[in-house]
Structure 1
Amino acid sequence: MDSRDQLRRRARQQRQSLSPAENARLSSLACSIFCNHPWFRNSHKIAAFFPIDGEINPDLLVERAWAMGKRCYFPVLKPGSANALWFHEYRPGDRLLTNRFGINEPDPLKRTRISPMALDIVLTPLVCFDASGTRLGMGGGYYDRSFSHLRRRNRWFKPKMIGIAFDSQKLNRIPSENWDIPLDAIVSDKQMYIAD
């Protein structure tokens, strides 16, 4: 089996090869699938992300959430911490800042920060995934560290961790590590996979 770094490298190249038009088309399909799911309909506080590096774009899902009166939160690099995230509310028209990786973030001085445990849904970017809910991100461990509390809680007392990806990012098996936080489901442009 290939190493996690090899899988990550190949999957990123494949994802980056999509044209902007194809990325937008497939992103729209994935967002529509999740917007029709009860987990989305019954949620109130959703964490999303600003896409980079050819990631699927959850903008349509966020717009639908706002139209339904839901609150949306986006990651902010936690100051003075190694590879951890805070989540701050973001609303249409709010000013964005750019972090050290070139990723947009809400201005942490303008909106409320939320505890990760108070979120209903966390949409996670990923490079590739498998049916068991294992995800490979970009390799920094930001989501795994930020949601490490999920290993210590009962299943009912945590946000649903939902990967959102192109179906072409699905692999048969990804080797997992003990620090990995598994996904509850993955939404793709073809279907929603509930992790086994």
Structure 2
Amino acid sequence: MTNKPQGDLRAQLRTKLRAARRQLTPDQQQQAAMKVSTHLLQQDYVQSASTVAVYLASDGEIDLTPFIEQLWLQSKLVVVPVISSQQQGKMCFVPYQAESILVNNKYGIAEPAYSPENKITLADIDVICVPLVGFDSNGQRIGMGGGFYDRILAPWFEGQLPHLQPVGVAHDCQYQANLPAATWDIPLPVVITPSKLWQFSTPTV
């Protein structure tokens, strides 16, 4: 568990980096979205994927709409996260289509309606695009603080889902040389920014 000074530092970094991405202009955001989409579509694991998990952008995150639209054109199944209203801290994935009706969850993030019948398990997902607040030269990531993606990625990190390819998505301004890591943080093997594809050593438990 993080000690208090480290926790304070993470909170300060989270505030700083969220502010930095929110300060990007609409044109900068649009250019970033197009460049990241191009990078993602060029990856072999995306080209061969049948099901791709994405996120619906908020709070200055890179908008994956251009990428999502190309996935639809390629007849891939696109799924997005839904935060459980019954189980605290739990998140699952459901299909996302152009006609999906969206509602905002308790964090103000858009989600399609959830029902147990349309839940997609991690075993059925080939690529998962992971939003983040900051990342460093070791693939360490800090998110919004809820731990949702750390819990989702834990089985992959433990070797239970070798087929799954996690990919962090971030603006260039979200890079930090070193981030203070917590014991529950799951490092990423790849992060894609508008200017660069970052690849890290495959993490192991």
TM over 0.5: yes
Residue in 2 that maps onto 1:90: 96
Between the aligned residues of both structures, percent identity stands at 28
Task: Tell me the distance in 2 between the aligned counterparts of 1:121 and 1:185.
Answer: 11
Deviation of the 1:95 alpha carbon? 1.0
Amino acid at match of 1:115: T
RMSD value, Cα: 1.8
5+ residue gaps, structure 1, are: none
Q: What TM-score do you get using the length of structure 2 for normalisation?
A: 0.89
Equivalent of 2:45 in 29, 39, 43: 39
Q: Is the CA contact 1:127–1:136 (under 8 Å) kept in the aligned structure 2?
A: yes
Task: Tell me the distance in 1 between the aligned counterparts of 2:117 and 2:97.
Answer: 9
Q: Is the CA contact 1:88–1:111 (under 8 Å) kept in the aligned structure 2?
A: no
Count of residue pairs brought into register by the alignment: 195
5+ residue gaps, structure 2, are: 1-5
Task: Tell me the distance in 1 between the aligned counterparts of 2:64 and 2:117.
Answer: 20
Equivalent of 1:191 in 171, 188, 196: 196
Residue in 2 that maps onto 1:71: 77
Q: What TM-score do you get using the length of structure 1 for normalisation?
A: 0.93
| Partner secondary structure for residue 18 of structure 1 | coil
Residue in 1 that maps onto 2:175: 170
Equivalent of 2:24 in 18, 22, 42: 18
Task: Tell me the distance in 2 between the aligned counterparts of 1:111 and 1:104.
Answer: 20
Task: Tell me the distance in 1 between the aligned counterparts of 2:117 and 2:63.
Answer: 23
Amino acid at match of 1:143: Y
Task: Tell me the distance in 1 between the aligned counterparts of 2:138 and 2:196.
Answer: 15
Residue in 2 that maps onto 1:136: 142
Equivalent of 1:58 in 54, 60, 64: 64
Task: Tell me the distance in 2 between the aligned counterparts of 1:131 and 1:59.
Answer: 27
Task: Tell me the distance in 1 between the aligned counterparts of 2:126 and 2:153.
Answer: 13
> 1:83-122 maps to which residues of 2 (within 5 A)?
83-109=89-115, 112-122=118-128
Q: Is the CA contact 1:120–1:158 (under 8 Å) kept in the aligned structure 2?
A: yes
Amino acid at match of 1:129: F
